[in-house]
């Protein structure tokens, strides 16, 4: 055989996830999806999950050879480029809890010059595999949004500002957390 062959064709991922945002505190105890398609932030240009682990490495002998690694810290984030320029998405990009208010797609105000710690929101990314049946779901029960927001208004292309949802600790050890997330404090990925 001349290389790897497919084992499960329905496991091929192609396309974008739907990113949904709801209130964190009101939905902190929900283990599965607490959102519906109507909670989507809208059309996206890209979606990218990032799971970063930083390791400490031990070496011994001469010459030194690596014999053990120990994880030091873990981060999880989802980066996306949104295409719908509306009060809700711009408020999210500024770290405002857009789940309370910002219901109009065409009117509202985004304050500038008063930046504060980003509000906690619940981010759920629902990726539907090309078979149209199976999904991979990413849930950050307590997330904060970071962005160096740039609105590139171009003559022949639409604006696609980038925002990042960063998972924050959501277990019972933190104020605002819930025991549902003990053992998986940043959230989880589950398949249906």
The CATH number of whichever domain residue 84 belongs to comes to: 2.30.110
The answer to whether residue 114 is domain-embedded is yes
How confident is the model over 79-90, as pLDDT tens digits? 999 999 999 999
- Each residue's pLDDT tens digit, 30-42: 999 999 999 999 9
Phi, psi torsion values for 181, nearest 5 degrees: -100, 5
- Whether residue 94 contacts residue 149, with contact meaning beta carbons closer than 8 Å, is answered with yes
H/E stretch holding 142 reads: strand 135-146
Q: How many domains does the chain have?
A: 1
pLDDT at 41: 95
Task: Determine how many CB atoms are found less than 10 A away from the CB of residue 25.
Answer: 15
Domain membership of residue 2 (yes or no) is no
Whether 1 is covered by a domain: the verdict is no
Q: Examine residue 178 and state whether it is found in any structural domain, yes or no.
A: yes
pLDDT of residue 1: 61
Position 113 in a domain: yes
Q: Does the pLDDT value for residue 150 go beyond 80? A: yes
Which tokens sit at 139? 């849930």
Residue 124 placed within a domain:
yes
pTM: 0.91
Q: Does residue 38 lie within any of the structural domains?
A: yes
Domain extent for 138: 9-191
For residue 69, being part of any structural domain is answered with yes
pLDDT digits 0-9 by tens, 92-147 = 999 998 888 898 888 888 888 888 899 999 999 999 999 999 999 999 999 999 98
Closest alpha carbon to 146 in 132, 126, 167, 177: 167
């Amino acid at each position: 055989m001349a290389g790897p062959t497919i084992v499960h064709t329905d496991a091929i991922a192609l396309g974008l996830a739907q990113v949904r945002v709801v209130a964190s505190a009101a939905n902190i105890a929900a283990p599965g999806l607490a959102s519906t398609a109507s909670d989507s932030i809208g059309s996206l240009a890209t979606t990218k999950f990032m799971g970063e682990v930083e390791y400490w490495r031990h070496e011994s002998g001469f010459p030194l050879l690596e014999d053990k690694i120990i994880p030091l810290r873990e981060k999880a984030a989802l980066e996306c480029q949104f295409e719908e320029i509306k009060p809700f998405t711009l408020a999210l990009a500024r770290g405002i809890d857009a789940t309370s208010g910002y219901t109009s797609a065409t009117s509202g105000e985004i304050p500038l010059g008063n930046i504060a710690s980003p509000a906690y929101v619940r981010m759920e990314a629902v990726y539907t595999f090309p078979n149209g049946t199976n999904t991979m779901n990413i849930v950050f029960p307590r997330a904060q949004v970071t962005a160096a927001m740039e609105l590139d208004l171009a003559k022949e292309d639409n604006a696609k500002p980038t925002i990042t949802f960063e998972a924050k600790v959501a277990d019972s050890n933190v104020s605002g957390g819930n025991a549902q997330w003990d053992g998986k404090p940043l959230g989880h990925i589950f398949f249906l």
